[in-house]
Chain A
Amino acid sequence: MLKSESVIGNKRRRFEIVIESLIRVLGFSTIGFVVLIFLFLLRQGLPFFFEVPPVNFFGTRWYPTFGLFGTLPLILGSVLVTLTAIVIALPLGVATAVFVREIAPGWAREILKPLIEVLAGIPSVVLGFFGMNIVAPLVRTTLNVPTGLTAFTGALILAYMALPTIISVAEDALDAVPKSYRDAGLALGATKWQVIWRVVVPAARSGIVVAVMLGLGRAIGETMAVMMVTGNAARMPITPDSLFRPVRTMTATIAAEMGEVAQGSLHFHALFGIGILLFVLTFLINLAAARPIFQKRRRGGLR
């Protein structure tokens, strides 16, 4: 009796150990892959930084065929398009989140929330196509510019892509604001709008910052749609009208040129070098996004 029981016990324990180690391997492999990708990126990209003097790769001209690897127009192009996108998406996103969470009646919220999730699932190439055929001509005719493929067009499409992220994260942040704050505001004779604007939104501030940062992270890494609508001219976007002229982003450069570059050439390494810059940039943005969360945690719980 005792013996058979212990046999079952052993079998069970062995099964437990197998399952446990399987889960552990899977868990660690995820981290492993990220590390490997990063190492690969470094291996391919670092030579670029050693072979090309800083004056060249922080130069203002990107002409790989002539040995000019100035990444500045690409970096500034990415920054211009992304920041403009956020400037457009932030008020829209927060306003939508406020509407969905605070103002819309229950049934409308039930419809809107899944719809917003669906927005996030639209493939970027579809949005790029939409941008090329609808938005770009619209931008060209309304703003009366030579081409509709501009930084502004890219920013519009990117704003649209960042919206679902911003809305749903901001909405969660608003949702986490306790009802007791709203009650306190109403009991003081504030209107519903005053309570939203002066109590609820400020209380959700850190969550809204996270929402914007995540939106920013999504926007800066976006490739396909941006490549299709920004015109891809690697010019320095420093003139006042740059927003309404073509630009080229870091992501679009990698995607456009990787297919026709000779493996192992300097140009090849240069593209990976841009990849490293992009990686560092997104990493910094994500770090900034995580900071308010860590601060809250230290102060005792997310509110």
Chain B
Amino acid sequence: MSKFVVQNLNFYYGKFRALSGITLTILDRQITALIGPSGCGKSTFLRCLNRMNDTINGTRVEGKVLLEGQNIYDRRVNVVELRRRVGMVFQRPNPFPQSVYDNVAFGPRVLGMARSKSQLDDIVEESLRGAGLWEEVKDHLHQDALSFSLGQQQRLCIARAIAVKPEVILMDEPCSALDPIETLQVEELMQTLKANYCIVIVTHSMQQAARVSEWTGFFWLGELVEFDSTAKIFTNPSHPLTENYITGRAG
């Protein structure tokens, strides 16, 4: 089942055209990886999917991004509600300088999801379990989130994101600040999460894309050069640019 259908998307930073004519379909309960060299527009594209680019002055979007058939750039769309449905995990772990509990409870609190303290406790525990962090932090729920390791902080950010029960999780190079073991933990977590969520990940590491994803899109200079199953992209790409990039001859 398709989650996102992107049709002919153009994106501008002022006069600079950062994305041109992007068209692709992202499937639910699958992992879609976006690869390409720095500055190719893959992160910009990811941030188009939950309208995080709205926070940057002087940006402009053309084309359509349909989330379950509804264009998220339609004027009637509530951006706040959109972002609840489409969660995001950032490049650097960015927990709030608050306790572990308050971090996870932030979303449910602002959205009024819990009617009682015990209900909120349940959401926090469930989210931390979902992010595979519960056993490590259950005795330290009220400790400052910044006192944990970067890998734990990133999984906390994932727990915080799933606490608001989103449908999609966007991950913008989620492992670039992590060491190999922490990276492995996050990748394993993604495999469990895809049973319930649609996941889109931007990554610099082609190995990571090959390891975790079902679908891969290759971006080059603001264009989507090729989009296909990960197996096809890494074994038999149809575009010479893709082949040069994944074999290390370009980019």
Binds B, one of A51-59, A73-81, A190-198: A190-198
Q: Which residues of B contact A190 (CB under 8 A)?
A: 80, 106-107, 110-111
Q: Which residues of B contact A202 (CB under 8 A)?
A: 96-98
CB distance from A183 to the nearest CB of B (A): 7
Mask: chain A, 274-293; 1 = CB below 8 Å from B; 0 = not = 00000000000000000000
Of chain A, the residue at the smallest CB distance from B166 is: A189
Q: Is the CB of B52 within 8 A of A186?
A: yes
Given known contacts A188-B110, A189-B164, is B94 in contact with A181 (CB within 8 Å)?
yes
B33-80 CB contacts (< 8 Å) to partner A: 50, 52, 55, 57, 80
Q: Is the CB of B84 within 8 A of A188?
A: yes
CB distance from A196 to the nearest CB of B (A): 12
Of chain B, the residue at the smallest CB distance from A195 is: B110
Complex Cα gap A191–B79 (Å)? 9
Mask: chain B, 95-106; 1 = CB below 8 Å from A; 0 = not = 111100000001
The answer to whether the Cβ of B92 comes within 8 Å of any Cβ in the partner chain is yes
The answer to whether the Cβ of B83 comes within 8 Å of any Cβ in the partner chain is yes
Mask: chain B, 209-245; 1 = CB below 8 Å from A; 0 = not = 0000000000000000000000000000000000000
Which of B57, B92, B161 sits near A188, CB closer than 8 Å? B161
Q: Which residues of A contact B50 (CB under 8 A)?
A: 187
Q: Which residues of A contact B52 (CB under 8 A)?
A: 183, 186-187
Given known contacts A190-B106, A198-B110, is B96 in contact with A184 (CB within 8 Å)?
yes
Q: Is the CB of A184 within 8 A of B94?
A: yes
Of chain A, the residue at the smallest CB distance from B107 is: A188
Complex Cα gap A188–B96 (Å)? 12
Of chain B, the residue at the smallest CB distance from A204 is: B97
Mask: chain A, 191-215; 1 = CB below 8 Å from B; 0 = not = 1001000110011000000000000
Q: Which residues of A contact B106 (CB under 8 A)?
A: 185, 188, 190, 198-199
The answer to whether the Cβ of B160 comes within 8 Å of any Cβ in the partner chain is yes
CB distance from B169 to the nearest CB of A (A): 10
Given known contacts A188-B83, A189-B83, is B107 in contact with A183 (CB within 8 Å)?
no
The interface centre, meaning the residue of B57, B90, B96 with most chain A CB atoms within 10 A of its CB, is B96
Complex Cα gap A182–B97 (Å)? 12
Complex Cα gap A198–B80 (Å)? 16
The answer to whether the Cβ of A235 comes within 8 Å of any Cβ in the partner chain is no
Q: Which residues of A contact B160 (CB under 8 A)?
A: 184, 188
The answer to whether the Cβ of B87 comes within 8 Å of any Cβ in the partner chain is yes
Q: Which residues of A contact B131 (CB under 8 A)?
A: none
Interface residues in chain B, defined as those with a beta carbon under 8 Å from any beta carbon in chain A: 50, 52, 55, 57, 80-81, 83-85, 87-88, 90, 92, 94-98, 106-107, 109-111, 157, 160-161, 164
Interface residues in chain A, defined as those with a beta carbon under 8 Å from any beta carbon in chain B: 106, 178, 180-191, 194, 198-199, 202-203, 303
- Which A-B residue pairs are the 9 nearest by beta carbons? A189-B84, A180-B94, A187-B88, A188-B107, A190-B110, A194-B110, A189-B83, A184-B94, A203-B97
Q: A184-B160, A190-B111, A198-B109 are in contact. List 18 more A-B contacts (CB 8 A).
A: A106-B57, A183-B52, A184-B95, A186-B52, A186-B83, A187-B90, A188-B83, A188-B160, A188-B164, A189-B84, A189-B85, A189-B110, A189-B164, A191-B80, A194-B110, A202-B96, A203-B97, A303-B97
